[in-house]
Amino acid sequence: MSGHLPHVLVVTMGGTIASVPAADGRDAVPRLGPAELLASVPGAERVATVRTESFRQYPSGDLTLADVVELAQLVHKRAGEVDGVVVTQGTDTLEETSFLLDLLLDRDAPPVVLTGAMRNPGLPGADGPGNLLAALRVAASPAARGLGPLVVFADEIHLPRFVRKLHTSSIHAFGSPNAGPVGWVTEDRVRIPLVPRRREALCAPESLSAPLPSVGIIRIGLGAEPLRPEHAAGFDGLVVEVFGGGHVPSSIVDSLAEIGTRVPVVMATRTGAGELYESTYAFPGSERDLLGRGLISAGALDGAKARLLLILLIAADAGTDAIRDRFAAIP
Ligand code: ASP
């Protein structure tokens, strides 16, 4: 029977799903490997023929861009051998690792399904086993082929470019504010009724060499001071998280435009949802003013994802116009 099952590779990278608490569910540290994670998922052997790879054992804040590039290379290497890949990791940066993989893997790559847990295995109602089982079902499903990386959490299926961690502790921490989930898992059925438009990969992971460009993020707050040159020192690009549909205090526009003459400056909304305006307002500090002064719009991408896209574009030697075009092509 197992000869007829899809082959799924489970790659583990630590996080709460792999964390063992000392007592009473407290002081958890990532420790569990793939065998222990799979042992907590009764029935996994009926979903797929699973092989495993222990890739990292980190809290996800310690993952690096180089780790994700290496993960993308691993997926390429195993592409001919498996039907799908499940990646388990910490939830803190899951929206970013999944988006970076989305930019690095082409449409022929096997589906990569990322998941994690909000409650560690020592807590009542631990969600890791259920999330892992759902992720296995999606990675093994023909419905997931050709869609690129997906995030599966609490039985919902999300696209990397929309998904965000929206809560510190809820087991429903993940949502896609701009689009909603594209599918779900019920019992053993994987449903993906909203099939996404798939883009080509931005660049092959093999083409990237360390160190990757460095891009900073600055969030604008009420009464923000003009940026000083030091704010951009050492960075190859800057993402500015701006008010609402694309606004900053008028007093800081000159400083942003000045930095924009030296490195690309991308603006993203700090609201958490929605797309930036282009031509609704014309006051100093408005979206029209900022775009006219050379800032690049992230459109509907949030700041963290805009930073990753900008890093890859700078790595690919894209000029300002190419960067602007690529951001405009993202929705
Ligand atoms: N701190 C953890 C991590 O991201 C949180 C989690 O996994 O939910 O590794």
What are 181-198's pLDDT values in tens digits?
999 999 999 999 998 877
Mean predicted lDDT score pLDDT of the chain: 95
Strands (E) in the chain, as ranges, are: 7-14, 19-20, 29-30, 49-58, 84-88, 112-115, 150-153, 156-158, 164-165, 174-175, 183-186, 189-191, 215-219, 237-242, 265-269, 296-297
Q: Is 97 a catalytic residue?
A: no
Q: CA-CA distance, 316 to 89, in Å (whole number)?
A: 28
Q: What is the mean pLDDT of residues 27-37?
A: 95
CATH architecture classification, 213-328: 3-Layer(aba) Sandwich (3.40)
Q: Which of 24-28, 70-74, 150-154, 323-327 has the lowest mean pLDDT?
A: 24-28
How far is ligand 1, taken at its centre, from the CA of residue 125, in Å?
Answer: 16
Nearest CA to ligand 1 atom 3: 90
Residue whose pair of structure tokens reads 């691993």 in the numeric block = 74
| 77-105 confidence digits (pLDDT tens) | 999 999 999 999 999 999 999 999 999 99
Q: Is it the case that residue 3 has pLDDT exceeding 70?
A: no
Nearest CA to ligand 1 atom 8: 91
Q: CA-CA distance, 170 to 205, in Å (whole number)?
A: 34
Residue 60 amino acid letter: S
Specify whether the CB–CB gap between 237 and 314 falls below 8 A.
yes
Buried-exposed string 243-282: b where 16+ CB fall within 10 A, e elsewhere: bebbbbbeebbebbbbbbeebbbbbbbeeeeeebbeeeee
How many beta carbons lie within 10 A of that of residue 196, not counting itself?
A: 18
| Probe residue for ligand 1, chosen from 60, 88, 151 as the CB with the greatest number of ligand atoms within 8 Å | 60
CA distance readout (Å), 318 to 214, 239, 259, 324, 327: 15, 16, 18, 10, 12
Q: CA-CA distance, 73 to 112, in Å (whole number)?
A: 12
Phi, psi of 2 (to 5 degrees): -65, -20
Domain residue spans of the chain = 7-191, 213-328
Give me the torsion for CA of 235, 236, 242, 245, rounded to 10°.
Answer: -170
Specify whether the CB–CB gap between 88 and 13 falls below 8 A.
yes
Nearest CA to ligand 1 atom 7: 90
Q: Is it the case that residue 210 has pLDDT exceeding 70?
A: yes
Q: Is it the case that residue 2 has pLDDT exceeding 60?
A: no
pLDDT reported for residue 22? 82
Cβ of 15 less than 6 Å from ligand 1: yes
Cβ of 121 less than 6 Å from ligand 1: no
How far is ligand 1, taken at its centre, from the CA of residue 259, in Å?
Answer: 34
When computed from its CA atoms, the radius of gyration of the chain, rounded to whole angstroms, is: 21
Task: Give the tokens for residue 151.
Answer: 């995030």
Q: CA-CA distance, 95 to 86, in Å (whole number)?
A: 15
Q: CA-CA distance, 130 to 44, in Å (whole number)?
A: 10
| Probe residue for ligand 1, chosen from 91, 168, 171 as the CB with the greatest number of ligand atoms within 8 Å | 91
Cβ of 299 less than 6 Å from ligand 1: no
Q: Considering 12, 16, 91, 269, which one is annotated as catalytic?
A: 16
How far is ligand 1, taken at its centre, from the CA of residue 298, in Å?
Answer: 27
Q: Which of 51-65, 198-212, 217-231, 304-318 has the lowest mean pLDDT?
A: 198-212
Q: Is 3.30.1050.10 the CATH classification of the domain at 7-191?
A: no
Q: What is the mean pLDDT of residues 212-241?
A: 96
Specify whether the CB–CB gap between 265 and 255 falls below 8 A.
no
Query: Do 213-328 and 7-191 fall under one CATH topology?
Result: yes
Cβ of 92 less than 6 Å from ligand 1: yes
Task: Give the tokens for residue 173.
Answer: 């921490």
Specify whether the CB–CB gap between 45 and 138 falls below 8 A.
no
Q: Is it the case that residue 331 has pLDDT exceeding 80?
A: no
Q: What is the mean pLDDT of residues 250-258?
A: 98
How far is ligand 1, taken at its centre, from the CA of residue 172, in Å?
Answer: 14
**Nearest atom within ligand 1 for CA of residue 19:** 7
Q: What is the mean pLDDT of residues 166-173?
A: 98
**Nearest atom within ligand 1 for CA of residue 94:** 4
Cα distance between the two ends of the chain:
42
Specify whether the CB–CB gap between 14 and 91 falls below 8 A.
no
**Nearest atom within ligand 1 for CA of residue 30:** 9
Task: Give the tokens for residue 234.
Answer: 């050492």
Cβ of 116 less than 6 Å from ligand 1: yes
| 270-325 confidence digits (pLDDT tens) | 999 999 999 999 999 999 999 999 999 999 999 999 999 999 999 999 999 999 99
Q: What is the pTM of this model?
A: 0.96
pLDDT reported for residue 1? 40
Q: Which of 21-25, 223-227, 247-251 has the lowest mean pLDDT?
A: 21-25
Please report which residue ranges of the chain form alpha helices under DSSP H. 34-39, 44-47, 65-78, 94-104, 128-140, 229-232, 253-260, 287-292, 303-315, 320-328
Can you state the percent helix, strand and coil of the chain, rounding each to 5? Answer: 30, 20, 45
Cβ of 60 less than 6 Å from ligand 1: yes
Cβ of 128 less than 6 Å from ligand 1: no
pLDDT reported for residue 21? 86
- Indicate the burial class of 283 (C-beta count within 10 angstroms; 0-12, 13-18, 19 or more): exposed
pLDDT reported for residue 6? 98
How many beta carbons lie within 10 A of that of residue 79, not counting itself?
A: 14
